[in-house]
């Protein structure tokens, strides 16, 4: 049966950052700070929290009250809605619906006090089911610098000629007072070349009263969301800047709409657009933007159709996407600077779906060296050595995508004046479609090929040319036959939800292509027929085949081409996705999980990425499952969380996941890796195998087996192996851990009603068990400080059974290490350790599965010989401990005794009933004198004897 997966589930991590879809995996993830974000990149002790179904009011919390029942380590001091509500009487039903659809009425800024680090605080809040998301309040930065080339002093506004603004004015002389919001550091409201174009909210004159009932008192000249300092944010109605160092927003303002034809200073493309000044930076910081998204919301609600954001940063979260979605839904165009990072690393808000990102090119239409780029960029614009207004009636030069963006915003206002009924998205499409191709000006082999948008802004073409269709994909759905792994040799079908933003078309051809030789397109062209204006419909299937020799985790760039030659319409856009993944999802029974190529279980990457975790009856039960193998406090090979939000990645893939065809199991897959990525390699190679059955009583477990080989030339003693598991059953902070020593089952359950059980059964016999429960919510716990050191990891592996339970009251957020040890390996020798991952409706259910898994593993996974066999111990000679393998052909009484070289019995090792199966027994002889000994194994009258040597 073929499985259909939305690209939102399977490709979320492989789609370009700008392509944002509904994140159906949100419940599977815990929060980690985005790459590149440091403590200076967000406001301290501040969260942005969105609730699922309720709009909490300010009166819900008093001072020093807890927000959630499970947050005993966090005190919430204030909660403030990010959306300032209008009175219902002045808000139309349509406006209320858009606010509700975007969820703005459910988003709050929450201040807190806690000793926990930021990520721990966010994850505490995320445990509450009423929370849709929680994230930091990111600080962004403006994108400009000051060039020192003296040639910039000649012909100070040549960029206007470059984008054909003078010619455009002959067609559309000005912006007809369209409103452009400048969400920035503030502006100079008295500047001689700006003051006449400053937007005034005449509904709320300065009189100390909120005359227009919008939640902002006297916002006649705009609004300041931060005030004097971010360390004590106090909003006010004065967005004017107090110092020259804050003139970034002034420079941006002049480019967007300096007063033109006044015989002073500079000209702007828009000429007379009204500038809504929304200050989102602090008076004491020249570049930081603290309240950019709140500023966008304000601009949307106060009538700005064009919103300029010349700032950004690596912090991308759901809040920013919600805000962009809201702005787009209200018909706004949010023009954003692509960034000055010189790379295609995502910068936000530029990388959000729906944002109109602008790259910076020089006067020669060559990408500025500092400009960011990417397939999410919409257009390029001059942004190098741009002359504009600065503080106190002065002018100066600045460069960067911060300058390129307002030039595009100014052009957008001119297009709006020419076409006042168009939405912001439609205005953006006109600008994009009428841009001049500049790729011939740039090196053909440049890494930013096709990543500067559709070309460089051409205002004349945008004003003058007749409209055409404009097709953009809204969503991608795919079908494959490899559970979403897009495996080598697989055939994949793509379906695209396409929307026509502009003029209707009757004969649209859609073509899918790629230059990647690992993929062959076998059905790549479809005549999609007619599209009405603003119509959306699904087109497909387009079919590809992944080549049989495709390397694992190969990222493929695809190009979608749209054309209607009769309408002279040709356009393209891109998406990526990764094929032949090095993990596979296992979905053959009631427990869904993932096998990886690096020892992890459930996810192949840290932070619950690339996999299904452990799923049972729509419950996501596992956040992290990772292998640890240790021999000392300084040598633990693992891929478990470590310090400062990082993860150890000690295992190097040798052979990626492969499914064994024609297996007797419903699923059998394996991979091979070693510990050579470790700073102190132990010298081990591991073959990982996972097996699953389809029918009861074996349909609620998956077996995970690790076959460990000593690849070194020396013996390795005292090896401990375990799985670190972070369980999250229903409400994760209400979980309990327990260990049944007799059955060797560790299990987790929740205090919430009707929630399932999950657990691990140790399948390896007669090797000492390991069970070490953990919870970062306990002050004495290893994880309390957010770090997990190598020494701490070894302690959890080598401590045996630390305790048999964890959790009291309503429960805790629990983790544990479950495993076996010690093992001793001679050079080139191996041992196997196996676990059964269990799920069930209650304790009895997982106990039944554990018993079934044990029987299957002993009888089928490890073939049982028809005769009684006892192996030579290894290592031999040895100092303190050695391993003995023995096979029991049927249930029966078995004994093991130790004798000295004179034949005198030294020790009765064991004498008890065994079930049929293969066993490994670790013989510890720490208190035995060095010398030659013999061990004798007896089973139903059969006797086998082996010689062993104990060293000094």
Question: Alpha helix (H) ranges present in 842-914?
Answer: 843-856
Work out whether strand 356-361 and strand 377-382 pair parallel, antiparallel, or are unpaired: parallel
Helix/strand/coil for 102 = helix
Q: Which residues contact 931 (CB under 8 A, 6 or more apart)?
A: 900, 901, 949, 950
The token pair that represents 729 in the structure block? 């059953």
The token pair that represents 636 in the structure block? 């633990």
Alpha-carbon distance of 733 to 578, in angstroms, equals 35
The closest alpha carbon to 534, from 433, 454, 422, belongs to 422
Alpha-carbon distance of 621 to 730, in angstroms, equals 7
The kind and range of the H/E element at 556 are strand 554-564
| DSSP symbols for 231-264 | GG---BS--B-SSGGGTHHHHHHHHHH---SSSS
Q: Is the peptide bond before 822 cis (omega within 30 degrees of 0)?
A: yes
Alpha-carbon distance of 932 to 946, in angstroms, equals 11
Burial of 333 (0-12, 13-18, 19+ CB in 10 A): buried
Alpha-carbon distance of 479 to 544, in angstroms, equals 11
The answer to whether residues 227 and 379 touch, using CB atoms and an 8 Å cutoff, is no
Q: Which of 141, 144, 184, 730 is catalytic?
A: 184
The closest alpha carbon to 29, from 114, 136, 108, 127, belongs to 127
The closest alpha carbon to 371, from 408, 395, 396, 405, belongs to 405
Alpha-carbon distance of 887 to 151, in angstroms, equals 87
Helix/strand/coil for 23 = coil
Exposure letters 152-169 (e unless 16+ CB within 10 A, then b) = beeebbebbebbbbeebb
What residues pair up with 655 in beta bridges, in sequence order?
672
The closest alpha carbon to 84, from 214, 203, 222, 233, belongs to 214
| DSSP symbols for 122-184 | HHHHHTSTTEEEEEEEE-EEE--B----GGGGSSTTHHHHHTTHHHHHTTS-S-TT-EEEEEE
The closest alpha carbon to 379, from 356, 409, 350, 407, belongs to 356
The answer to whether residues 684 and 717 touch, using CB atoms and an 8 Å cutoff, is no
The closest alpha carbon to 350, from 143, 534, 182, 556, belongs to 143
CA distance to 212, 380, 672, 706, per residue, from 356 (Å): 31, 11, 45, 50
The closest alpha carbon to 612, from 839, 773, 828, belongs to 839
Q: Which of 402, 423, 604, 798 is catalytic?
A: 402
CA distance to 309, 547, 584, 619, per residue, from 322 (Å): 16, 39, 32, 26
The answer to whether residues 669 and 597 touch, using CB atoms and an 8 Å cutoff, is no
Q: Which of 141, 191, 248, 251 is catalytic?
A: 248
Let me know if 184 is a catalytic residue: yes
Alpha-carbon distance of 132 to 416, in angstroms, equals 36
Let me know if 141 is a catalytic residue: no
Q: What is the CA radius of gyration of the chain?
A: 33
Total residue length of the chain? 952
Let me know if 193 is a catalytic residue: no
Residues 143, 146, 149: CA angle, nearest 5 degrees: 140
Q: Which residues contact 855 (CB under 8 A, 6 or more apart)?
A: none
Helix/strand/coil for 474 = strand
Positions annotated as catalytic residues are 184, 248, 402
């Amino acid at each position: 049966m073929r499985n259909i997966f939305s690209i939102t589930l399977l490709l979320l991590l492989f789609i370009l950052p700008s392509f944002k879809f509904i994140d159906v995996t949100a419940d599977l993830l815990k929060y980690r700070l985005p790459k590149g974000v440091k403590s200076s990149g967000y406001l301290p002790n501040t969260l942005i929290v969105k609730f699922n179904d309720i709009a909490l009011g300010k009166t819900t919390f008093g001072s020093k009250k807890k927000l959630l029942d499970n947050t005993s380590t966090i005190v919430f001091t204030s909660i403030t809605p990010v959306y300032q509500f209008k009175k219902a009487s002045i808000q139309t039903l349509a406006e209320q619906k858009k606010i509700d659809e975007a969820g703005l009425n459910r988003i709050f800024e929450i201040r807190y006090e806690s000793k926990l680090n930021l990520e721990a605080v966010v994850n505490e809040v995320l445990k509450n089911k009423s929370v849709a998301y929680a994230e930091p309040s990111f600080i962004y930065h403006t994108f400009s610098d000051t060039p020192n080339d003296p040639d910039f002093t000649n012909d100070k506004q040549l960029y206007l000629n470059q984008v054909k603004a003078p010619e455009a004015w002959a067609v559309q002389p000005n912006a007809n007072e369209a409103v452009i919001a400048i969400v920035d550091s503030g502006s100079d409201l008295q500047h001689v070349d700006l003051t006449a174009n400053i937007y005034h909210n005449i509904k709320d004159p300065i009189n100390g009263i909120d005359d227009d009932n919008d939640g902002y008192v006297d916002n006649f000249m705009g609004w300041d969301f931060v005030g004097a300092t971010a360390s004590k944010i106090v909003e006010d109605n004065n967005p004017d800047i107090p110092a020259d160092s804050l003139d970034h927003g002034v420079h941006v303002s002049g480019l967007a709409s300096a007063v033109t034809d006044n015989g002073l200073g500079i000209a702007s493309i828009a000429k007379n657009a009204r500038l809504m000044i929304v200050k989102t930076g602090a008076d004491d910081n020249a570049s930081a933007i603290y309240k950019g998204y709140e500023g966008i919301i304000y601009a949307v609600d106060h009538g700005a159709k064009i919103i300029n954001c010349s700032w950004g940063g690596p912090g991308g979260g759901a809040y920013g996407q919600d805000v962009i979605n809201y702005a787009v839904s209200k018909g706004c165009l949010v023009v954003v600077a692509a960034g000055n990072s010189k790379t295609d690393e995502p910068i936000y808000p530029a990388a959000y779906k729906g944002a109109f990102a602008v790259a910076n090119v020089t006067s020669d239409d060559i990408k500025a060296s500092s400009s960011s780029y990417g397939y999410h960029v919409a257009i390029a614009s001059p942004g190098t050595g741009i002359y504009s207004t600065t503080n106190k009636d002065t002018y100066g030069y600045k460069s960067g995508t911060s300058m390129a963006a307002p030039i595009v915003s100014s052009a957008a206002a001119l297009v709006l004046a020419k076409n006042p009924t168009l939405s912001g998205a439609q205005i953006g499409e006109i600008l994009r479609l009428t841009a001049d191709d500049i790729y011939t000006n740039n090196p053909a082999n440049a890494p930013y090929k096709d990543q500067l948008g559709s070309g460089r802004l051409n205002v004349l073409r945008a004003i003058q040319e007749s409209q055409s269709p404009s097709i953009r994909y809204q969503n991608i759905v795919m079908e494959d036959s490899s559970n979403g792994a897009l495996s080598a040799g697989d055939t994949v079908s793509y379906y695209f939800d396409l929307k026509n933003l502009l003029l209707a078309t009757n004969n649209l051809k859609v073509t899918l292509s790629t230059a990647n030789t690992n993929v062959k397109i076998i059905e790549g062209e479809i005549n999609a027929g007619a599209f009405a204006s603003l119509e959306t419909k699904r087109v497909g299937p387009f079919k590809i085949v992944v080549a049989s020799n495709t390397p694992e985790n190969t990222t493929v760039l695809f190009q979608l081409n749209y054309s209607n030659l009769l309408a002279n319409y040709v356009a393209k856009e891109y998406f990526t996705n990764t094929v032949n993944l090095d993990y596979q999802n296992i979905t053959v029974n009631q427990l869904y999980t993932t096998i990886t190529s690096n020892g992890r279980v459930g996810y192949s990457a840290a932070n619950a990425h690339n996999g299904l975790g452990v799923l049972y009856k729509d419950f996501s039960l596992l956040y992290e499952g990772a292998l640890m193998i240790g021999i000392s406090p300084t040598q633990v090979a693992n891929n478990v969380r470590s310090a400062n939000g990082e993860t150890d990645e000690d295992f190097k893939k040798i052979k990626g996941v492969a499914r064994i065809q024609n297996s007797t199991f419903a699923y059998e897959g394996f991979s091979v890796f070693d510990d050579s990525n470790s700073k102190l390699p132990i010298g081990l190679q591991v073959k990982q195998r996972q097996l699953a059955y389809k029918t009861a009583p074996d349909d609620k477990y998956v077996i995970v087996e690790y076959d460990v080989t000593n690849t070194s030339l020396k013996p390795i003693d005292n090896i401990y192996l375990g799985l670190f598991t972070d369980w999250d059953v229903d409400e994760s902070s209400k979980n309990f851990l327990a260990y049944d020593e007799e059955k060797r089952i560790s299990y987790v359950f929740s205090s919430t009603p009707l929630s399932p059980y999950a657990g691990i059964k140790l399948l390896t016999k007669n090797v000492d068990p390991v069970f070490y429960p953990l919870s970062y919510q306990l002050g004495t716990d290893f994880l309390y400080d957010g770090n997990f050191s190598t020494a701490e990891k070894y302690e959890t592996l080598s401590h045996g059974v630390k305790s048999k339970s964890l959790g009291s009251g309503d429960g805790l957020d629990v983790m544990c290490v479950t495993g076996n040890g010690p093992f001793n390996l001679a050079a080139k020798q191996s041992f196997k350790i196996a676990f059964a991952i269990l799920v069930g409706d209650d304790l009895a259910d997982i106990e039944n599965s554990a018993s079934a898994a044990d029987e299957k593993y002993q009888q089928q996974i490890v073939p049982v010989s028809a005769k009684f066999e006892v192996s030579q111990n290894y290592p031999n000679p040895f100092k303190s401990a050695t391993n003995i393998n023995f096979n029991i052909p049927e249930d029966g009484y078995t004994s093991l005794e130790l004798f000295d070289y004179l034949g005198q019995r030294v020790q009765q090792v064991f004498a008890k009933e065994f079930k049929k199966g293969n066993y490994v027994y670790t013989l510890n002889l720490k208190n035995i004198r060095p010398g030659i000994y013999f061990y004798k194994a007896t089973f139903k009258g059969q006797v086998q004897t082996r010689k062993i040597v104990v060293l000094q």
